Structure 1
Amino acid sequence: MMHRLDLLTLVTVLSVACTTASVPNQKIISGSNICYVSNSGICETTPNVTQYSGYATVGEDMHMWFWFFSARQNPSTAPLVLYLEGGPGGASEYGLFTQNGPCKFENENDTEPVFNPYSFNNFSNVLYLDNPIGTGFSYGSGTQVNNTKEAIPYVWNALQIFLDEFEEYQGREFGIFTESFGGRYGPELANYILQQNHAVRVGSIEGKEINLKALGLANAAVDTSIKERANIEFAYKNEYRPLINESLHDELLKFYEEEARPALANCTALGTREACYNASRLYYRNIEGRIVQSATTLYDDFVPYDVRKNRTIPPMSHVAYLQREDVRVALGAKVKYRDWGGGMSFLLDGDDARSSLSELTIVVQAGINVVMYTGDADYVCNWLGTLQVANAIEWSGQDAFKKQVLEPYNVDGQEVGTCKSVDNLTFVRVFGGGHNVMWYHPVTVLSILRQTTFGSLL
């Protein structure tokens, strides 16, 4: 177990900084600031690893929480990675404590985290942000964002404030990693960064270019029209156990073609709250709801995140831990931790029915390294759908990518999945992984990311 600190005493001697940052986007940020605690002693215990935790004020009364850990090796030259949890409205501490952060909880009832040897900061400097305002430790009564496109500029603002404060990370190779609903966040943010970089270069805005090199999408929901059809096929035929029978499969497929797909196409064409919410409600009630009802009738242990018998899912011990007063004070957080928040407005806006395939296409076309990796026991964002999304990206390598067959992917001499890769686009199916794939197979995921994001392709 990690050494327990007397945190309420320790916080009195911590280095706490509040400085005024320059403002790259006057329209959104006016008089922004950054306040943070240095080296709180929470989570990361590796000697000489720096951490900061605190707030970037990204808009009027909009305080976005960040938690940064320097790389365990070569921090002065290592890339800078941003991790965003999905949701919508998921706090990034969920990913931090269950999958890719410096510490983790091994069991559901544990009260203290332990060292994680498979952290993202093994090879990169890592920044976690709680997006949107209202989730995690983020707080404020300012502008409410209702969808991904409205939220992303504030994430960019947080990055600008961070880079202004910590100049040593300016110009570093930069990657975005995310999962689940992050299939909307990741491509949208990557595309926005490319747009803002151009605007900075031509002088239409003030700011710092972000050296975007990589986008990692884990079990990601990028395009709902592709995803919903794939969900029907996966529910009927997957490697573990069927969730629906043939007659229900045929019925759902007919409904998809006649009702759901046209509604989703209408959402894509109009982009309005009404069109997208109607599409979302349609497929949730008539496809997702019926599949889940069938699966729970067939199996009393069914969960959509891991369809296998005797399934497992990550423990949630981090929630109680982060809600402890001593931990909150030590980190410099000003509100009680919420593992989910701020996402209901996204759902009511129908944002889950929208697609980020066009943005993902632009990112691939720009030469950014993109890796899509998916645990094959997940129903929610299953590997059939993510593979079809990868095949649908229109770029110079599309024909070669579509024609390429999946080949064995090996780690330490063991076949742990299948993959295909052309130029800067890679897809990996991870055997026996659920929705939060890195929790199931941390060694495999670290291997994938180190090979495909800032290094050579598979």
Structure 2
Amino acid sequence: MAPLSLIAGLFALTSMCSARKPTLAERGIPVDPTGVMTIKSSQGAEIRFKQPGKAGICETAEGVDDYSGYISLDEHTNMFFWFFEAREKPSEKPLTLWLNGGPGSDSMIGLFQELGPCNITEDLKSQWNPYAWNEESNMLFLSQPIGVGFSYETTRTNANGRYSLVNSTTTNTSHAAAVGAWHILQTFLDLSPQLDPDISNFTFNLWTESYGGHYGPAFYNYFYKQNELIRSGNVTGVELTMDTLGIINGLIDEDIQAPYYPEFATNNTYGIKAITDEAYTKAKVAYNTTNGCHERLVACKNTDRTSVAGQKICSGAISYCRSYVEYPYYNAGNAGVYDIRHPYSDPTPPEYFIDYLNLASTQEALGVNINYTSTNAGTVYTGFTNTGDWAYPDFLADLEEIIGWGVRVALVYGDADYICNWFGGEAVALATKWVGQEEFVRQEYSPFSVNGTEYGQVKEVDNFSFTRIYEAGHEVPYYQPEASLELFKRIIGKQPIAQGWY
């Protein structure tokens, strides 16, 4: 998730932090990949795929299969996916869907920068990751919604390459994205026996990040209810065992989290004062004043958000809140968006994977024939901004309902991140209404330790937890890979988070 005024600038940082880019003459317009295999469902959906690991791309562990390509529902619904088997006993391991946020951020971010089987070096080589989450689970990465990454409605070819095209109104709310992702997931599950017979354990986890604070509750809530319809025989589909929802540094509720922007900017645990006292006071006033951020968000909550007029109210609310409550930190221009310890212009982690995905050899191995670009991710971002989805109040209620179903829900926050800071995340956790809320609020934090090292602190009651991770920015698994893998293992393994089972 990036601030509105920073999108173009952050995209531009790619060239600053990457190795030499191949020229267009060297790369050329992407050609159609060879050796692509296709499997089709009786309803007309299909999966077109290759196995990049066989070509030495990313997951190179012997005997571990992976598949990448497109899950296509029709001519205009083509979603890029990359699936990795668990490194050991994949037929016994659960299925975890990973989604980055944005809106418009590709899940290749999580794959290459955080928790996938490999990361990319400065010389554009694939480097094996010993702390990949497919150590514990089969992993599915989706470039969603359509228009993100390699996913496309249609394409445009010009002298500079071939690019994904998407209309900004196609998928412009978290609920719409949830519906689209469910159909893609069901197609994947329906065709999985043909794709990989080892995909046989349909215990399902959804883990997400950043704007995933919207995606996670909306998607999981919708998935759960559709799964219940399958279970009861009211609709056809592949039944899942709904297990865990994990949200890393998520924007869940703007009204709860917005007041903590000025607080974190001045009173964070790193002793960094990123804004002046005057800017702090102005941001606090902007949240609380008449017709300020809070009142505008309440108006969004009370309006008809299915109408154009209602969406305009919500869009105006988020524009005001971000401009006057969140943005003073950016205007100061000194501290990092995703890591307060870093300078504002520091691209951390490095984005070498973007150039890597534009190598002809990589695209051939993945089974794609379009340029990898962030341009149309901006189109998706614009669509969500125009509807005001950022300000929608539904996601905390979704989360509360999910907890009530007995699903294990984990909120995880790196404590150096500004844009989705842990102050606001903790406030959401404490405000969440469920049968264990009073006990959760009263409970003291316990150290979260791995192999004798304390990596954070956790508050956990029954199936709900909040974990603060020390020395970690927005993308927690990048900063604390060993601890993040162990945290993931404990949560999906139904272990207590603080110490696990030893």
For 1:199-278, what aligned pairs fall within 5 Å after superposition?
199-240=229-270, 241-258=272-289, 259-270=292-303, 271=305, 272-278=310-316
Alpha-carbon separation, structure 1, partners of 2:435 and 2:42: 40
Partner of residue 496, structure 2 = 457
Contact 2:337–2:419 (CA<8 Å) still a contact in 1?
Answer: yes
The yes-or-no answer on 1:50 pairing with 2:65 is yes
Q: 1:185 aligns with which of 208, 212, 215?
A: 215
Alpha-carbon separation, structure 2, partners of 1:274 and 1:60: 32
For 1:21-420, what aligned pairs fall within 5 Å after superposition?
21-23=41-43, 31-39=44-52, 40-41=54-55, 42-106=57-121, 109-141=122-154, 144-167=170-193, 168=197, 169-240=199-270, 241-258=272-289, 259-270=292-303, 271=305, 272-294=310-332, 296=333, 299=334, 302-309=335-342, 313-339=348-374, 341=377, 342-355=380-393, 356-420=395-459
Deviation at 1:436, TM superposition (A): 0.7
- Residues 235 and 59 of structure 1, relative CA distance in 2, 3 Å threshold: farther
Contact 2:336–2:342 (CA<8 Å) still a contact in 1?
Answer: no
- Residues 309 and 334 of structure 1, relative CA distance in 2, 3 Å threshold: closer
Note the alpha carbon deviations across 1:180-226, whole angstroms, 9 max, x for none: 01111111111011110122233332112221101111111111111
Contact 1:426–1:457 (CA<8 Å) still a contact in 2?
Answer: no
Uncovered stretches (5+) of structure 1, i.e. residues with no partner = 1-7, 24-30
- Residues 171 and 77 of structure 1, relative CA distance in 2, 3 Å threshold: closer
- Residues 58 and 184 of structure 1, relative CA distance in 2, 3 Å threshold: farther
Alpha-carbon separation, structure 1, partners of 2:324 and 2:153: 37
Alpha-carbon separation, structure 2, partners of 1:213 and 1:327: 34
Deviation at 1:312, TM superposition (A): 6.9
TM-score by length of 2: 0.83
Note the alpha carbon deviations across 1:69-112, whole angstroms, 9 max, x for none: 00001111011110111110111111100011110024xx3311
Alpha-carbon separation, structure 2, partners of 1:256 and 1:210: 42
Alpha-carbon separation, structure 2, partners of 1:309 and 1:318: 21
- Please identify, of 247-256 and 379-388, the stretch whose mean Cα deviation from structure 2 is larger: 247-256
Q: Secondary structure at the match of 2:152?
A: coil
Alpha-carbon separation, structure 2, partners of 1:101 and 1:191: 25
Partner of residue 425, structure 1 = 464
Question: Which letter maps to 2:227?
Answer: N
Contact 1:80–1:125 (CA<8 Å) still a contact in 2?
Answer: yes
Note the alpha carbon deviations across 1:214-261, whole angstroms, 9 max, x for none: 111111111111111111211120012012233332332122012101
Deviation at 1:350, TM superposition (A): 1.5
TM-score by length of 1: 0.91
Contact 2:414–2:421 (CA<8 Å) still a contact in 1?
Answer: yes
Note the alpha carbon deviations across 1:7-66, whole angstroms, 9 max, x for none: x9xx75x5x32122144xxxxxxx322211135432110000001111111355110111
Partner of residue 3, structure 1 = none
Q: Secondary structure at the match of 1:343?
A: helix
Contact 1:84–1:182 (CA<8 Å) still a contact in 2?
Answer: yes
CA RMSD of aligned residues (A): 1.9
Q: Secondary structure at the match of 1:133?
A: coil
Alpha-carbon separation, structure 1, partners of 2:316 and 2:248: 27
Q: Secondary structure at the match of 2:90?
A: coil
Note the alpha carbon deviations across 1:118-174, whole angstroms, 9 max, x for none: 101111100000001111110114771111111111111111111111134355211
Deviation at 1:457, TM superposition (A): 2.4
Partner of residue 4, structure 1 = none
Q: Percent identity between the aligned chains?
A: 35
Contact 1:370–1:453 (CA<8 Å) still a contact in 2?
Answer: no
Alpha-carbon separation, structure 1, partners of 2:471 and 2:42: 47
Contact 1:139–1:335 (CA<8 Å) still a contact in 2?
Answer: no
Alpha-carbon separation, structure 2, partners of 1:438 and 1:50: 23
Alpha-carbon separation, structure 2, partners of 1:284 and 1:399: 32
Alpha-carbon separation, structure 1, partners of 2:90 and 2:485: 18
Deviation at 1:385, TM superposition (A): 0.8
